[in-house]
A and B are shown apart, each in its own frame.
Chain A
């Protein structure tokens, strides 16, 4: 399939603009925030999709694609779009993403590389057994429909009360671990059925759990790192997952509802059906917002259950309590969500619904979206790299106001899954990674080949890009030593 190449205006070294004249119906220009290298790596479909987003009612300033952007559906992955909820602004499941509240979660330990290296195989094998991953994976933790509804209404707050994790985890999670606007009466029986036996599972694709450490020369902001409890050679655990089948079903259900009812009812013209939308302040818009809240909570609860399993496994292997191993959560931050936030637009403070699809909130110091623990510092931003390279902890910078306080979310793919499977061999990849000090367990060889590091952009390029744009800055880098997926 061929996509038209826009004529770009280069606004600065790191900003490219697609004018409103590129496509019929564009209400604002689209902008790409990336270094030249990353910009040139983007597939043409990214520009087509972000220009489509620019046609939606109520969009403010620009439709944004960030440095890790790659083609998705509806909106590119790595997209940001904010809508004025008091002026025809819409909500769109397609630019929230199917995996509602898909996020990165990071916990620290007081263990060092020296403590963990001899046990890495046992740890990874035990985690692989306790936290199911891959096609059709089911959890040992099953819920009744009534319990699941409570989980969907209560998120991590419900999970902590039910014995999954510690109370302090909530203060180290976005939104305090609960989307308090959620209403489980707005999600279908099908969504609930899909979620009942998937809580505490990772999923597949690019979802993973890693044991990582901090190399001594990769504490980029030593002062902030120390304040946040990070030190050289420290072991941390990072994982990437979301709301599983239930979240996807919520998105599917409401895209169909919006297509059949809202677009016609509210006269919204969309260039791609995946961008089905409803005014935020309409009956349909509010129903999806409440259902999306359930997706957010399902994701929070899923990660709380996984957190509990991780603490149990480490406790068992080291024969110490998780408390004495210092297994504190550092943060959980989403990259697939729509958030109600206040931002200044042309000198006026507006209430906006900021859709981030494959992009992360990066709030500068003082923003109320940041939990109190970190508010003076700026929000922690977790950027997951490919399984062969490494990941980053960043902090929100003042310049993020350019993109409605948004930054990149990961490396971003450069190769299709099929091509990666043809080019790489899962078994050989495991051996190569083992030789590089990373022990991997995967439910699938083919799925592993799809996630080869060479199928992704360089994480260094992505982080360089957001630093140059002053969207976020480096705190430290993490190097993987164990991975399950």
Chain B
């Protein structure tokens, strides 16, 4: 459970896989992978700011990408990075919806050990699927 970076896919970018017993846990692990790609000590991000958003997509893969891209948006536009996520994911009438409450703080180069900027989530070798009793995802992040 959690996430793991993959070394042998897209060597100029960052690939990861994530697993969880629940879909919400999977999205949370993927978000952790995204933030950890940029900040080595991401667990030290203080949860002092909260943002809430809801996203709707026609399929689960698109929802997964849209969720991670929303976090990139907050990093670029508001300078916010997160490590606390409260998520509810539902499928109703052929539409996938994620409601998210994300907690974090402003990027701070003095405090956060910065690595490299993530600018997009690619569709390359993207997997978001049920596996056994849980959920599995694989994604390549554009650097």
Interface residues of A (CB under 8 A from B): 1, 43, 45, 70-74, 77, 94, 98-99, 134-138, 190, 193-194, 196-198, 203-206, 244-245, 248-249, 251-252, 255-256, 259-260, 272-274, 276, 413-419, 421, 443-447, 450
Q: What is the CA–CA distance of A167 and B112 in the complex, to the nearest angstrom?
A: 41
B24 interfacial by beta-carbon distance below 8 Å = no
B63 vs chain A, min Cβ distance (A) = 11
Q: What is the CA–CA distance of A135 and B42 in the complex, to the nearest angstrom?
A: 13
As a 0/1 sequence over residues 1 to 17 of chain B, the CB contacts with chain A under 8 angstroms (1 = contact) are 00001111111111000
Q: What is the CA–CA distance of A245 and B123 in the complex, to the nearest angstrom?
A: 17
Across the interface, B11 reaches (CB within 8 A) one of A70, A196, A197, namely A70
B98 interfacial by beta-carbon distance below 8 Å = no
B114 vs chain A, min Cβ distance (A) = 4
B62 and A256: CB pair below 8 A?
Answer: yes
B9 and A446: CB pair below 8 A?
Answer: no
Q: What is the CA–CA distance of A205 and B117 in the complex, to the nearest angstrom?
A: 7
B125 interfacial by beta-carbon distance below 8 Å = yes
A135 and B38: CB pair below 8 A?
Answer: yes
Neighbouring B residues of A416 by C-beta, 8 Å: 7-8, 11
A71 and B5: CB pair below 8 A?
Answer: no
Question: Could you show 22 A-B contacts with beta carbons less than 8 Å apart?
Answer: A43-B8, A71-B12, A72-B124, A73-B10, A73-B123, A74-B124, A98-B120, A135-B38, A135-B39, A135-B75, A135-B107, A136-B79, A194-B76, A205-B143, A256-B62, A256-B65, A273-B61, A418-B5, A443-B114, A446-B40, A450-B115, A450-B116
List which B13-51 residues lie within 8 A (CB) of chain A. 13-14, 38-40
In the complex, number of A-B residue pairs with CB atoms less than 8 Å apart: 147
Given A45-B9, A206-B12, A447-B114, answer yes or no on A136-B76 (Cβ-Cβ < 8 Å). Answer: yes
Q: What is the CA–CA distance of A97 and B9 in the complex, to the nearest angstrom?
A: 17
Most buried by B among A74, A416, A450: A416
Instruction: Specify the main secondary structure of chain A where it touches its partner.
Output: mixed
A420 vs chain B, min Cβ distance (A) = 9
Interface residues of B (CB under 8 A from A): 5-14, 38-40, 58, 61-62, 65, 69, 72-73, 75-77, 79, 81, 107, 109, 113-117, 119-126, 140, 142-143
Neighbouring A residues of B40 by C-beta, 8 Å: 446
Instruction: List 8 additional A-B contacts (Cβ < 8 Å) besides A204-B116, A252-B65.
Output: A73-B142, A94-B123, A135-B39, A136-B76, A193-B77, A198-B76, A203-B117, A446-B40
Across the interface, B73 reaches (CB within 8 A) one of A73, A134, A190, A244, namely A190
Q: What is the CA–CA distance of A435 and B12 in the complex, to the nearest angstrom?
A: 27
B117 and A446: CB pair below 8 A?
Answer: no
A453 vs chain B, min Cβ distance (A) = 15
A444 and B116: CB pair below 8 A?
Answer: yes
B123 vs chain A, min Cβ distance (A) = 4
A45 and B10: CB pair below 8 A?
Answer: yes
